[in-house]
Structure formats: structure tokens, C-alpha cells
């Protein structure tokens, strides 16, 4: 039947787009990482040597390294000292922060979505911390509480200690991806939170009330973690996060 004739107007196969040379370099480096030939702390060959080994230009190698730096996979330093060269790293949170921050700036990700993501992640991280945190973790968190409790702490310092507190809980939970995602989301929102606290500083009584509440909530979260009360810790951190964002109208 005529209606069953195959459509020959559009070819089934299209020419393959040639990769840019630096993408081929990326492929080779990523292959070495996936195979285990390269791991964190290992150093890539010098730019000239790597270009010669791969049969590409030094410019292509340089572009590939820049992409890997942006992804948080390598760290490069010029010179001839011990820290010179390109070293494999694991800076996931740095790369995630940059990516999420750009999407927030471009308004492709709503702040409300960031808040919901933070709540989901931090409920998980405090529950993990409640089960896994050791005395060193609890001590580190206690030190941050003491720094936030200082009556003379500036809003800038309080904001930083607050961020460190949440990220440290993520680390205590033992899940590196949860920790890095928590770090990225908290870092992206840190300027907005600082702006909200700075605005409150124009109304000293409101600022004192807000800081007092935040301190109490931090201590409540710490106690729940220390006592292994995972569900209570999760509920406390959710109320803590959503309460501040609602007060500051950041959602």
C-alpha cells in the first residue's frame, strides 16, 4: 500500500559532528579517572608533555584543564614549587555552588525551590548525624554554637558561623554528596541571608530577637543530634530553615 511506503525524504543517518579538540582531551582525562589510573592527589603531566602524548595543541590541553577546574575536578597553579601543576581534586561543592548560583541569578531556579531542596537535604543530614556523629563532630558543632552565642558577634560573622554549622552537620552525617549539596545550597543563599540580617540590624530589637531565636534553634538541633533523636532533629532543622526564610521573605 502506498501509505506504508517508508519516508525517504529524511536520511536515517546524519553526519557525526566533529568534537572540538579540547573535548577529546577531556574524554581522555576522564577515562583515566574512571579507570582508576588517576585519583585525588595525582598530578597530570605537564601541559607540553600531555599535548605531545595526545597529539594535540597545548591550547587544547589548556582549555580542557579550564573546564575541569570549573567542574571542581582539578586545581592548577603556575610556577615550579611543590604546589605547581595540575592536581586531581574533589571540589564538588565549589562546582555545585557555581552552577546553582548561576541558575539562581538567571532565575531558572526559584529561591522557593532552593529552600525546599535545603529542607529535604538537611532533614537527611541531621538524621544521619544523629546516628553517626562522634564526640569530635559534636565538639566542632559546640564550638560553632559558642561563636554564634558571642553577644558581640557581627552579623557577617554570625552568618558565616551559621553556614559552617549546617555544613558541619552534613559532614558529621558521613554522606559526602549530601554534605557537598548542603554546602552548595547554603553558600548560594548566604548573601541573601546576610542581606536580611543586615536589614534587621537597622532595627536592633528585632535583630536581637531574631538572633536569640536562631541560637535557641541551633542548640535544639545540636541536642537532638547528640541524644540520637533523629526525627526530632529533622523536624527542628526544617522549622529552623523555613522559619527564617519566611520571616525574611526570601521565598
Q: Among 226, 229, 228, 222, which residue's Cα sits nearest to residue 240?
A: 222
Go through 51-67 and write b for each residue having 16 or more CB atoms within 10 A of its CB, e for each that does not.
beebebeeebbbbbbee
pLDDT band, very low/low/confident/very high, at 239 (cuts 50, 70, 90):
very high
Note the pTM of the prediction, 2 decimals.
0.67
pLDDT tens digits, one per residue of 99-116 = 666 666 666 678 888 889
Least confident of 7-21, 47-61, 159-173: 7-21
The residue-averaged pLDDT of 48-73 equals 85
Work out the mean pLDDT of the chain and round it to a whole number: 84
Rounded Cα distance, 244 and 251, in Å: 10
Q: Mean pLDDT lowest for which of 15-19, 153-157, 194-198?
A: 15-19
- For the chain, the residue count is 251
58-70 vs 47-54: helix crossing angle, rounded to 10:
110
CB contact at 8 A, 133 and 140? no
Any idea which of 83-92, 144-153, 220-229 has the lowest mean pLDDT? 83-92
Give residue 79's pLDDT. Answer: 60
Which range among 6-15, 23-32, 92-101 has the greatest average pLDDT? 23-32
pLDDT, tens only, 159-177: 999 999 998 999 999 888 8
Highest-confidence range of 61-70, 131-140, 173-182, 200-209, by mean pLDDT? 131-140
Can you give the pLDDT at residue 251?
A: 52
Question: Has residue 3 got a pLDDT over 80?
Answer: no
Q: Where are the domains of the chain?
A: 21-90, 93-248
pLDDT of residue 186: 81
Give the pLDDT band of residue 144 (cuts 50, 70, 90). Answer: very high
Which of these CATH numbers, 1.50.10.10, 1.10.3720.10, 1.10.10.10, 2.60.120.590, describes 21-90? Answer: 1.10.10.10
Query: SS3 string of 127-180?
Result: HHHHHHCCHHHHHHHHHHHHHHHCCCCCHHHHHHHHHHHHHHHHHHHCCHHHHH
Tell me the average pLDDT across 10-30.
71
Greater confidence, 62 or 79? 62
**Record: fold of 93-248:** 1.20.120
Amino acid at each position: 500500500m502506498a501509505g506504508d511506503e517508508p519516508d525517504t525524504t529524511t536520511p536515517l543517518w546524519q553526519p557525526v559532528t566533529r568534537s572540538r579538540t579540547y573535548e577529546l582531551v577531556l574524554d581522555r582525562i576522564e577515562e583515566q579517572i574512571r579507570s582508576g589510573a588517576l585519583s585525588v592527589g595525582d598530578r597530570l603531566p605537564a601541559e607540553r608533555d600531555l599535548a605531545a602524548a595526545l597529539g594535540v595543541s597545548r591550547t587544547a590541553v589548556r582549555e580542557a584543564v579550564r573546564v575541569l577546574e570549573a567542574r571542581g575536578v582539578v586545581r592548577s597553579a603556575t610556577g615550579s614549587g611543590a604546589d605547581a601543576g595540575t592536581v586531581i581534586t574533589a571540589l564538588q561543592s565549589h562546582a555545585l555552588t557555581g552552577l546553582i548560583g548561576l541558575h539562581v541569578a538567571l532565575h531558572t531556579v526559584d529561591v522557593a525551590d532552593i529552600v525546599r531542596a535545603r529542607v529535604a537535604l538537611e532533614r537527611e543530614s541531621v538524621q544521619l548525624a544523629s546516628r553517626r556523629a562522634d564526640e569530635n563532630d559534636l565538639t566542632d558543632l559546640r564550638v560553632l554554637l559558642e561563636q554564634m552565642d558571642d553577644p558581640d558577634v557581627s552579623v557577617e560573622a554570625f552568618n558565616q558561623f551559621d553556614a559552617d554549622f549546617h555544613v558541619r552537620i552534613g559532614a558529621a552525617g558521613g554522606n559526602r554528596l549530601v554534605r557537598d549539596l548542603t554546602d552548595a545550597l547554603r553558600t548560594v543563599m548566604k548573601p541573601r541571608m546576610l542581606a536580611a540580617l543586615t536589614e534587621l540590624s537597622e532595627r536592633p530589637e528585632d535583630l536581637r530577637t531574631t538572633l536569640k531565636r536562631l541560637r535557641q534553634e541551633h542548640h535544639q538541633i545540636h541536642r537532638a543530634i547528640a541524644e540520637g533523636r533523629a526525627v526530632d532533629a529533622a523536624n527542628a532543622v526544617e522549622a529552623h530553615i523555613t522559619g527564617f526564610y519566611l520571616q525574611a521573605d526570601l521565598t
